[in-house]
Structure 1
Amino acid sequence: MKIQHLCKAFDGKMVLDHVSLTLESGGTACLMAPSGRGKTTLLRCIAGLETPDSGQITDLPERIAYVFQEDRLCDGFSAVDNIRLVTGKALGEGEIRRHLEELGLAGSLDQPVRELSGGMRRRVVISRAVCFGADLLLLDEPFKGLDDEARQQTADYILRHRGAAAILCVTHDREDAAALGGADIVTF
C-alpha cells in the first residue's frame, strides 16, 4: 500500500496534511501522534469510509479488516456468532472456537457478548478481524482496555495468525508497538 500526499480537512481544519506512507505486505507500522492529528481519519480514508481531499492511495489490498476504536459487535450474538458474521462458512465453528480460546475466552464462547467485560469484547473484535483473513489489518487503538498480560497475549495472537497481512496500528503507547514486534513507528 502506498499513500502519497494525502490531505483531508473538516470544516476548514486540516487534519491530514500531505501524509505519505508505504507499507509492504507483511510489514507492520504504528501511527503515533497527539489526539486530533488525523490518525483515525487516515485509517478511514484507507478503508474507503472517508474521501481524501487530495493525494492518493495506491496498491491497496482487496481484503481489509478494520478494528475500530469502538467494539462494534452484535450484542445479542455470541462471540462465535460475531466472528461467523465475517467468515461465513470459510471457518468452521471448531476453528473459530480455537481462535477465541487462544485469547483466553474459553468459558464465554456461547454467551451474548453484551455480558462480556470490555477486555473480553475487545479480544472478540480482534479475533473477528484476524479470522476474516485480510491482506491488511487496520487497528485503531486495538489494545485499549487490556491489561499488560492480555495485551501481549493478544499481540502475539495477531502476529501468529496474520499470515502475510500488513498491519497499520494507531496507538498512543510505544508498548503497543513493542508488543507488535517492534513495529515501525510513524509520527505526523
Structure 2
Amino acid sequence: MTIRERLDRAWPSLVALVGTVGVVLALLVFFGDDTGGNDDGGDEDVAADSTDEPQDDGGGDATEPDEDASDEPTGDPTDDTDEDADEDGSDETEEPDDEPTEAPAELRTPIGIANQTSVEGLELTAADRFEAGGWEVAATSGFNGTVPETTVYYPPGLQESAEALAAQFPEVGRVAESFEGLNPSRIVVILVDDYLDEVEAEE
C-alpha cells in the first residue's frame, strides 16, 4: 500500500477530529466568560442567601411570634368587685369566738368531779368553780387512772349537758362517753394536770 492510499484512508478520520476540536474551541470562545463569572461569585451569593437568621423585610415574619400578643392577663370585671369588697372589709373572715358560753339552765344537770392529779383537794376547788357557774356538784372524789386530759364523761342521754359544760368551762377540753366504773346517772368531770395550767392561765 502506497503512502497516498494510506492518506486517503486516514483523511476522513482527520477531518472528523479537526471538526470536533473546532466545535470545542467555538464553545469555549462563546460561553467561556459566562461560566467563569458564575464560578467566581456564584457560591458566595448562595452562601449569603442561605442564612438561618430571619429576614426582616419591614412587614413582619408570619412564622415568628407576635411580640404584641403578650401573655398578660386581661382585665377581669370581677377583679374590681373583689378589691372593693376587701377595702370595705365585707369579706373579712370572722374569727371564732373563744369566749365561754354560759350553759342554758335546762342543760345544767348534777355533776360529779374526780381528781386524778396529785394536788390534794383540787376537786373541791373545781366544785366551787362549777357551782359559781350555776352547776350543782353532787359528788367529789379522787381518781386513780390514766385519763390523758381533763374530760367530762357523759352517760346515755346527757351528751348535750356535757358539751354545754365544756363550752362554759374551757379548761374542760374533752368530751367523751362514760365508761364502766363511773356513775351511770350523771356527767363526771375527771381533773388532770392540764386543768391546773388552764385555770392558772385565766387568773
Higher relative CO (Cα under 8 Å, sequence separation at least 6) belongs to: 1
Larger radius of gyration: 2
Q: Where is the strand percentage greater, Structure 1 or Structure 2?
A: 1
TM-score by length of 1: 0.20
Q: Where is the helix percentage greater, Structure 1 or Structure 2?
A: 2
